[in-house]
Amino acid sequence: MKGVVFTNFAELVEDNYGLAMWQNILDTANPPSGGIYVATAQYDDQELISLVGAASELLDMPAPVLIRRFGQFLWQYFEENYPQFITSHDNLFDFLISVDSVIHMEVNKLYPNASTPDFEYDRESPKQLLMHYRSPRKLCHLSVGLIEASANYYQTPIRIEHPVCMHEGSDHCEIRVTIADG
Q: How far apart, in whole angstroms, are the C-alpha atoms of residue 174 and residue 21?
A: 34
100 in the same domain as 38: no
DSSP strand pairing (118-125 vs 158-164): unpaired
How many domains does the chain fold into?
Answer: 2
Q: pLDDT digit string (tens) for 9-33?
A: 999 999 999 999 999 999 999 999 9
In-domain check, residue 68: no
Burial level of 9, CB count in 10 A (0-12/13-18/19+)?
buried
pLDDT at 176: 98
pLDDT at 66: 98
Domain boundary among 45, 61, 77: 61
Domain boundary among 61, 79, 99: 61
172 in the same domain as 98: yes
99 in the same domain as 44: no
101 in the same domain as 35: no
Q: How far apart, in whole angstroms, are the C-alpha atoms of residue 127 and residue 84?
A: 25
Burial level of 109, CB count in 10 A (0-12/13-18/19+)?
exposed
Mean pLDDT by 10 residues, the chain (182 residues): 93 97 98 93 93 98 98 94 90 92 70 80 94 95 97 97 96 97 68
Q: Helix 45-59 vs helix 63-81: angle between axes, to the nearest 10 degrees? A: 120
Paired with 132 in beta bridges are 120, 174
154 in the same domain as 113: yes
In-domain check, residue 71: no
Q: What domain range includes position 9?
A: 3-61
In-domain check, residue 45: yes
Q: Where are the alpha helices (DSSP H) in the chain?
A: 3-17, 19-29, 45-59, 63-81, 83-87, 92-98, 104-110, 140-153
Burial level of 30, CB count in 10 A (0-12/13-18/19+)?
exposed
Q: How far apart, in whole angstroms, are the C-alpha atoms of residue 9 and residue 126?
A: 35
pLDDT at 115: 75
In-domain check, residue 14: yes
